[in-house]
């Protein structure tokens, strides 16, 4: 693996607690040196970069102390390393380059990066790390807003998706938002999302039925969590002001489902603002989000059906006045569902990771009622 240690500063020894996870995580310190990274490792690192946001630059963080105090999960076998703090570049572009380079090398070597930020525009740097893989990817954001912005304006933590879409070549196949709150969203942004056949699950829809969001998480390569999507009553800190949002247990549930997904290969948690004074509530929640994601990764069972599906239950649905059959698969390992979407034969290499779309049993039942599932239709429009 290419050396990435030059991008990192070591963690201060006083940030390490020698109990719980603190005994098991291999942490980059001056005394220990840079950890050895092997395949199937979970690599945590912190990026103290806030220059493209309205937040002040944060010099200290407390999440490591809270994470180290948590206990090792049952049946965990994945190695966990803490690479330290990314050294902010002279310009924001330098930091983006460093983060994208780190992501590219780790993902290429079957390592799962867990990025703690820093403002959410760092999602852009995570995405650019996938460009060297030259494969289409799916991005999912846990966010109150769509963060689209205008490509004519500077990148900002609340406005960066338009810049991502303008990249050439663009390797973004799908973008999904979970937790959208319409009062914070301009109509033009929603119209663009729908025109591009992107997906969103409003906060009320999530609260009514979590299963509405689970396929979007299972379909993602990159997950970006905006910490401001958590309601401020959960955070007990006046740095956060969202009156409605996810409860702490919901955001941990999302993290675990993301971790279980075989397809997801990186997680970023952004807009983390360490507490003022001696409070630790924010870092407590962040530490638990990290814990539940790691727990999910350790619970993976390898049922992403990109290869042999002979043991999957196969269901073929015919819909009136519709030329294509809709084929569903149900995993024999987890009872989770996928549906197959046709695509041009000459585009096999380009789309082979995207023609099997995660869904719920309700999508199959809807097809049986002569309705084309929304996820099938949106994917079909992108493939053809």
Verify that 370 and 272 share a domain, yes or no: no
CA atoms within 13 Å, Cβ hemisphere of 270? 26
Verify that 256 and 318 share a domain, yes or no: no
- Structure confidence by residue, pLDDT tens digits, 280-298: 789 999 999 999 999 999 9
- Whole-model pTM: value is 0.94
Q: Is the pLDDT of residue 164 over 90?
A: yes
Q: What is the mean pLDDT of residues 104-128?
A: 96
Q: What is the mean pLDDT of residues 185-193?
A: 93
Domain containing residue 191: 5-298
Question: Which pLDDT score is estimated for 81?
Answer: 98
Question: Which pLDDT score is estimated for 362?
Answer: 93
Cα-to-chain-centroid distance, residue 257: 11
Round the CA-based radius of gyration of the chain to a whole number and report it.
21
Question: Which pLDDT score is estimated for 29?
Answer: 95
Question: Which pLDDT score is estimated for 225?
Answer: 98
User: Which residues have CB under 8 Å from 175's CB, separation 6+?
Assistant: 138, 139, 140, 141, 161, 193, 196, 198, 199
Share of the chain above pLDDT 90, in %: 75
Q: Is the pLDDT of residue 352 over 80?
A: no
Question: Which pLDDT score is estimated for 238?
Answer: 77
Q: Is the dihedral of CA 5, 263, 201, 154 positive or negative?
A: positive
Verify that 326 and 289 share a domain, yes or no: no
* Residue 304 is assigned to a structural domain of this protein: no
* Residue 258 is assigned to a structural domain of this protein: yes
Report helix, strand or coil for 252: helix
Q: For the chain, first and last CA: distance in Å?
A: 37
> Given pLDDT bands bounded at 50, 70 and 90, which one contains residue 59?
low
Domain count, the chain: 2
* Residue 303 is assigned to a structural domain of this protein: no
């Amino acid at each position: 693996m290419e050396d990435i240690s030059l991008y990192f500063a070591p963690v201060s020894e006083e940030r390490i607690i020698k109990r719980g996870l603190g005994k098991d995580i291999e942490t980059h310190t001056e005394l220990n040196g840079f950890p050895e990274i092997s395949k199937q490792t979970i690599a945590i690192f912190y990026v103290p970069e806030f220059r493209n946001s309205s937040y002040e630059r944060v010099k200290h963080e407390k999440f490591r102390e809270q994470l180290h105090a948590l206990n090792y999960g049952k049946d965990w076998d994945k190695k966990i390393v803490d690479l330290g703090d990314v050294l902010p570049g002279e310009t924001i572009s330098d930091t983006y380059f460093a983060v994208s380079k780190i992501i590219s090398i780790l993902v290429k070597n079957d390592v799962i990066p867990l990025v703690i930020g820093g403002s959410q525009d760092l999602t852009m740097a995570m995405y650019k790390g996938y460009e060297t893989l030259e494969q289409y990817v799916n991005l999912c954001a846990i966010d109150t807003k769509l963060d689209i912005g205008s490509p004519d304006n500077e990148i900002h933590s609340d406005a960066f998706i338009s810049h991502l879409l303008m990249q050439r070549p663009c390797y973004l196949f799908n973008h999904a938002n979970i937790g959208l709150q319409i009062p914070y969203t301009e109509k033009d942004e929603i119209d663009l999302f729908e025109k591009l056949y992107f997906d969103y699950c409003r906060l009320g829809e999530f609260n009514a039925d979590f299963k509405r969001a689970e396929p979007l998480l299972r379909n993602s390569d990159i997950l970006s969590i905006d910490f401001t999507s958590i309601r401020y009553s959960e955070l007990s800190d006046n740095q956060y002001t969202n009156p409605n949002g996810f409860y702490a247990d919901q955001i941990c549930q999302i993290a675990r489902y993301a971790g279980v997904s075989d397809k997801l290969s990186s997680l970023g948690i952004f807009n983390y603002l360490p507490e003022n004074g001696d409070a630790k509530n924010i870092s407590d929640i962040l530490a638990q989000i990290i814990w539940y994601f790691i727990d999910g990764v350790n619970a993976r069972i390898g049922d992403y059906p990109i290869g042999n599906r002979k043991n999957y239950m196969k269901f073929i649905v015919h819909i009136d006045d519709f030329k294509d059959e809709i084929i569903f698969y149900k995993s024999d390992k987890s009872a989770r569902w996928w549906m197959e979407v046709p695509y041009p034969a000459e585009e096999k290499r380009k789309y082979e990771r995207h023609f099997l779309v995660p869904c719920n049993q309700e999508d199959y039942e809807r097809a049986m009622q002569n309705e084309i599932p929304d996820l099938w239709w949106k994917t079909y429009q992108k493939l053809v």
